[in-house]
Amino acid sequence: MPKNNKRISKRVYPKRNCKQCDCEFEPHDAREVYCCEQHRIDYNNDLRRLKDAPLKDLNGRIVNNEKILKKFYETLIGLNQESLSIDFLILDKYDFNVPCETSINKVGNKIEWQLSYGLEGVDEKKRLFKIHKR
């Protein structure tokens, strides 16, 4: 028969409120702040979700931009065209405010990369764009 290694303390701690549900409970340890293990897990999951929310939002915006660029890249190839008007990107809700990696091509134009696709302004007013694939 296996030994039960669980130690039972005879100490009594003052009642306190659970950090998750705010119900009153009697802790078995001075460090205990949750009435049960599930509330500890739930509380920490909620904190992580709040902490990760901005990154999740940014990732979603990057993926959405990537889908838009891929669609237009394939469309331009099918039409044998090289450039695209900014109006199409705006209609498809391309987010120009997403931070991205940049590089300079051989002619000195800046390419703003999302993941696999990049956007290069080909005119001075940035009304026409060329889409690149890595």
| Domain parsing of the chain, residue ranges | 48-133
Reported confidence tier of residue 1, pLDDT bands at 50, 70, 90: very low
State how beta strands 128-133 and 117-121 pair: antiparallel
Q: Which two tokens stand for residue 111?
A: 């390419």
Residue range 30-88, pLDDT digits in tens: 999 999 999 999 999 999 999 999 999 999 999 999 999 999 999 999 999 999 999 99
Instruction: Give residue 69's identity as a one-letter amino acid code.
Output: L
Q: What does pTM read for this prediction?
A: 0.70
